[in-house]
A and B are shown apart, each in its own frame.
Chain A
């Protein structure tokens, strides 16, 4: 296993109380694997990513758990030691390409910074490598564009530059936090295709954080579905997409509009995400769940196997057809 996250807890301590943004999350990523993490805004998927990078800022704090990366315990490392890992071993792609690049440095400088930090290349080799990287992410005329500033690029092109930066030091793992959310749909497809090709080509692993099931079904080998800071479903991508077993996942998939079906109303998950300060006592999803039973309000569900191997759900009444459950 390249990355092993065990019982990770990341809490935010605010005036109003403690937000358990990530609460007891465990998962693994194998070498060369693309893991998709899906969930609504605020479900803790980005915080999970930032916890791995060691970039949780006040008032947030990793409150417990373990992160094993390539045999090293990341949570025990000092900030300086983490700087050796950030960028070099684990790099990150951010959501909004319009704001992730520093506006006052050239593209070349920003790619080169990665090489200066994490490689022993000479200045000339670094420049050559920058050109190669830009070419590999599909930027036309890379030599000529090294001295351009971010504002000379469109959003899609900037995201390509960011991908080039993320790949520069040949990382083992890339954490991509909603990499295509801010882009046009046509550009999204291009960028996803590019990312997938580059990751496969270099045999590096990827943690793809997104709220877009379509994206994740295209890209991921395995999928984790998160809700209110916890994993509710986990399994191989095909199993989760074709056979969603947790009511939340079913709701997510059900709410994708289908063009070939004639429907006047869009299906939605009824209710809203609960207030993170006052989570329900039992299952976090119970107030919104169609299959909710007595037990769901009182007891937090544990993981249990769904239909296929490796397909886990955190639900008392799997698939809504469990014993004695009344459909509501």
Chain B
């Protein structure tokens, strides 16, 4: 276990180093932050002063060195747009994104997995076939289209759900969150469903494929011969043997959702991290972009670590070291 942790942390460092280089050099060649910062008809002296203030007049490798040193001390720099710490901006937006992501992943887990189990255990039944057909639809529809259709149907046509922004937030366990208010929940619903849809389809199909394999195994028949009830055979004996790939994909999806809810957040004007990233890219706000991407890389490594730990809980034959 110790050896495993050391290798994992080594990997983390390597990944972060590579990502930091990519981020830094990519953002340096794309866009000119000065256009954002100085007046439109600024004199050359003003431009020069701004460049010196930001350190942009130095050679690239010096800038990178400075960037690394300050990043290591936890300082990603100040946003050009908002003039506050980039990291704090991300942290402020983080709860909003997590809200829709959590609801989306719960939908995925509690609807897609049971449906996948059913469809895998009884592939010939009508319901299974219907579910599988719908899942193809779920995978094929792009989220921006789904979002717009949901807005049209529930927001405009039936006028039952709000379609824009985050609703009232209340305090829950000391955190300001939409989960605490009804209005918050109403606002959450449509963006979460939009996010969940294609992930649900993937999880469902994955669970089904695994279940079809597992249901043929001898130990399933042996469980039945023991007099185990059908539901317990499916969810106790079969599902646990199917879970490894599902958990893997679930972890990756969770990471992708947290990091890149951009489209959905833009459609629903949800004030989350995705919206922040899009705005930052549009404005060439380097500190935010780099802080954001390093945060995302860090999160992915962390999630994969958690997934690895889950493997050992699910399947005793897996040994991390």
Contacts and interface: CB of A to CB of B under 8 A. Distances in A.
Interface of A: 53, 55, 58, 79-80, 82-88, 91-92, 94-96, 99-106, 113-114, 117-118, 149, 151, 162, 165
A87 B316 contact: no
A130 to B, nearest CB: 14
Nearest to B237: A102
Interface residues of B, number: 21
Contacts of B39: none
B58 interface: no
Nearest to A162: B222
Contacts of B223: 102
Contact of A79 (B230, B237, B314): B230
Select the residue from B225, B316, B317 with max chain A CB neighbours within 10 A: B225
Interface of B: 124, 217-219, 221-230, 237, 240-241, 314-317
Contact of A94 (B218, B229, B315, B317): B218
B225 A92 contact: yes
Given A86-B225, A104-B315, 9 more contacts: A55-B225, A86-B224, A99-B217, A99-B218, A103-B219, A104-B314, A104-B316, A114-B226, A165-B226
A58 B227 contact: no
Nearest to A98: B218
25 contacts: A53-B225, A55-B224, A83-B227, A84-B227, A86-B225, A86-B227, A91-B226, A92-B225, A94-B221, A94-B225, A95-B218, A99-B217, A99-B218, A100-B218, A102-B237, A103-B219, A103-B241, A103-B315, A103-B317, A104-B316, A105-B237, A106-B316, A113-B226, A117-B227, A149-B316
B222 A100 contact: yes
Nearest to B241: A104
A83 B223 CA distance: 11
Contact of B219 (A86, A100, A114): A100
B226 A87 contact: yes
Given A103-B315, A104-B316, A149-B317, A117 B226 contact: yes
A86 B127 CA distance: 29
Contacts of B218: 94-96, 99-100
Contact of A104 (B225, B227, B229, B240): B240
Given A103-B241, A149-B316, A94 B227 contact: no
A96 B218 CA distance: 8
A58 B217 CA distance: 15
Contact of A91 (B217, B221, B225, B230): B225
Contacts of B230: 79
A101 B226 contact: no
B222 to A, nearest CB: 5
